[in-house]
Amino acid sequence: MKSNRNSHNNSKVSPSNLSTNMHFAPRGDAFKYPVQHFDVAKVRTVSDCLEAFGSTSFQSRLLGRCYRIWLRMLTDPARPTIFFGLSGAMIPGGMRRIIRDLIAFHAIDVLVSTGANLSHDLYESLGGRHYMAHHHIDDPTLRNMFIDRVFDTYADDVKFTETDEFVERFADTLEPRSYSSRELFQVMGEQVKDEYGILSTAARERLPMFCPALADSSIGMALTVYRNERMKKGLPAMIYDPMLDNLEIMSLKRRWAKSGVIFIGGGTPKNYIQQVIPLAEIAGTPVPPHSYAIQVTTDDAKFGGLSGCELPESQSWGKLDPRAEQCTVHLDATIGLPLLVTGIMEHYDEWKSRGRLSIDWGEALQTPPARRARKDSA
């Protein structure tokens, strides 16, 4: 009787029984790096903690790796441009000062954010606050009281209305022409007097800030009201032109070719930063893929959503270098981000000389070289 190769038997399997296409490293290689049990007695700083995490397991090891990659981005002699994607309710979540400090200390170079985060930042700059909620008030009652809820946090809807009115008045002062979101927020931030605001700090530091889904936010709704009022009066209006955003962010990548990316959550900011590589390619001015990438997310890749997709997936699209240092940690960003930022700031003396980018937008947006034909893949 012919033996069944899949049947269970007591014969030992040796490398000679297996496919010649399989290669076995010495067994000892698997035991080269033992897990190091976390020793509280050896931890004095947050960076000590993150370094120790790097020798544990699971998400703590991945958080430690994200920390080391971010630090390498900052200390790389080639000074890669660091693109920072911000999604999720980070301002209601208490992360506003952290984002502001990343801008002020030049730990990031370009910010791509959801409109909601920028709306909540502006709301705070104009006097609004977020409050810890108590769940004995139901949501219909909150609506009647003009109180907005974000999980366990409240915001004042009356103050949001005042913030919308500020945006409408601001838009009325603008020359009626096309604006990128980067230029729009630069001008807006210059009019906001807040030492600790994201918009105001980005304007002072002249850090490029893009909001590719601006319409999907309170600021976007206020700009819609402004536009509608101008139309009713037969007056020309300022226009947000998202294609200008594309041209501007592509020009940044062309000017400073080496880059790294940091994604807090995912969504539109993540894809917008990633797509600059294929965008430049189809525009006929190819740029190198990103050299570093870290992501803090709670989403799962197996559901097919962008926010959970694994970073190596972007290598198939040409967005991330196959040799890139990259890591994803599945963790609530309101826990992971403060730890990561505190860790890198403890090493500020090692990278403070990187300074900020100096950008002449008139020069940056000059017509690039003639378009080259795009190679067709086999």
138 torsion bin: left (phi>0), alpha (psi -120 to 50), beta (else): beta
Contact 275, 264 (CB under 8 A): no
Structure tokens at 253: 């990548």
Give the residue among 96, 113, 126, 129 at the shortest CA–CA distance from 194.
Answer: 126
Contact 184, 215 (CB under 8 A): no
Distance CA 157, CA 128 (A): 9
Q: Which residues 6+ apart lie within 8 Å of 50 measured at CB?
A: 63, 64, 67, 68, 339, 340, 343
Distance CA 164, CA 36 (A): 53
Distance CA 119, CA 110 (A): 18
229 to each of 151, 181, 184, 234, how far by Cα in Å?
Answer: 34, 21, 19, 9
H or E segment at 320? strand 320-330
Helix ranges (H only) for the chain are 46-53, 58-75, 96-104, 115-125, 139-144, 157-172, 181-190, 198-205, 218-232, 242-255, 267-274, 276-282, 333-345, 348-351, 361-364
Contact 275, 245 (CB under 8 A): no
Q: Is 2 an annotated catalytic residue?
A: no
Structure tokens at 114: 């959801």
Q: Of residues 258, 319, 352, 375, which has the active-site annotation?
A: 319
Structure tokens at 151: 């999980």
The catalytic residues are 319
